[in-house]
Amino acid sequence: MTDVTLERHTLTDKLGVIIDPELLSLALTHRSFAYEHGQMPHNERLEFLGDSVLGQAVTVRLFTGHPDLDEGELAKRRASVVSTVALAEVARRIGLGAYILLGRGENQTGGRDKDSILADTMEAIIGATFLSAGPDAATSLVLRLVEPLLADPERYGAAMDPKTSLQELAARRGFAPPSYGVESSGPDHDRTFIATVTVGDVSMNGTGTSKKHAEMAAALRAWHELADRA
């Protein structure tokens, strides 16, 4: 068994589902890698499919699991669970970044930890699961991945509005309000923003395609770091 095959096998073990090797490779291929290797296929079509599967699975789970919630609250909760920030959290939990095929530029600029790349790849894997193992397996995978969010009301709030949730948690812990700094890099048409948030003795980074998304990503990571402390 080659190193690459072994790595992919480890990933499918983490996911708890068997995915066709070719589909899995495609799901892990970012467009930056594809462009550097002769315009080979990449994962954006699978991402499109996975987004639809994800939305349906979460919608049905929320609808059946919360008969007391109105449409507006259901929509808010769904948006939080399927957001880029939340999906990136899910991806980090299974170490997905290590398996993604990236071009040199993306790799050198921290692409393996960018929320957008992690979230898109997570959706592509869901799409690959749908094609490889069927809709039931894909739905089961989605629900396993997002269960920590579904089971913890506080995580809903953090995923929906990380900056407010972090500020409230900081106040409860007796810290000063979080402070943010943002830097950017890359060409104007494809800028990457890196935000740093500091609260108490915690300092976390987050990346995004806008200042707002980068700050949200940093805030969510800082919120988890503080919330996980006893």
Beta bridge partners of 207: 194
Identify whether 51 is a catalytic site residue: yes
The pLDDT of residue 44 is above 90: yes
Phi-psi region of 47 (alpha: psi -120 to 50; beta: other; left: phi over 0): alpha
Binding residue positions for Mg(2+) = 47, 120, 123
For domain 1-155, which architecture applies? Orthogonal Bundle (1.10)
Taking residues 143-155, report their average pLDDT: 81
Please tell me the pTM assigned to this model: 0.77
Closest CA to 198 of 158, 160, 159, 225: 225
Give pLDDT tens digits for 57-72: 999 999 999 899 899 8
CA angle at residue 86 from 175 to 107, to 5 degrees?
100
Catalytic residue (one of 106, 123, 201, 215): 123
Catalytic residue (one of 51, 89, 115, 215): 51
Domain boundaries, the chain: 1-155, 162-229
Binding residue positions = 47, 120, 123
Give pLDDT tens digits for 159-209: 778 888 899 899 999 999 999 999 988 777 778 888 999 999 999 998 888
- Residue-level pLDDT at 1: 44
Label residue 8 by pLDDT band (50, 70, 90): low
The pLDDT of residue 2 is above 50: no
Taking residues 108-137, report their average pLDDT: 93
- Residue-level pLDDT at 84: 85
DSSP three-state, residue 187: coil
Give backbone dihedrals phi and psi of 181, rounded to 5 degrees, phi first. Answer: -135, 140
Closest CA to 213 of 94, 105, 107, 85: 85
Write b or e for each residue in 113-122: b if 16 or more Cβ atoms lie within 10 A of its Cβ, otherwise e.
ebbbbbbbbb
- Residue-level pLDDT at 165: 87
Give pLDDT tens digits for 86-112: 898 899 889 999 999 999 988 888 888
Fold of 162-229: Double Stranded RNA Binding Domain (3.30.160)
The pLDDT of residue 154 is above 80: no
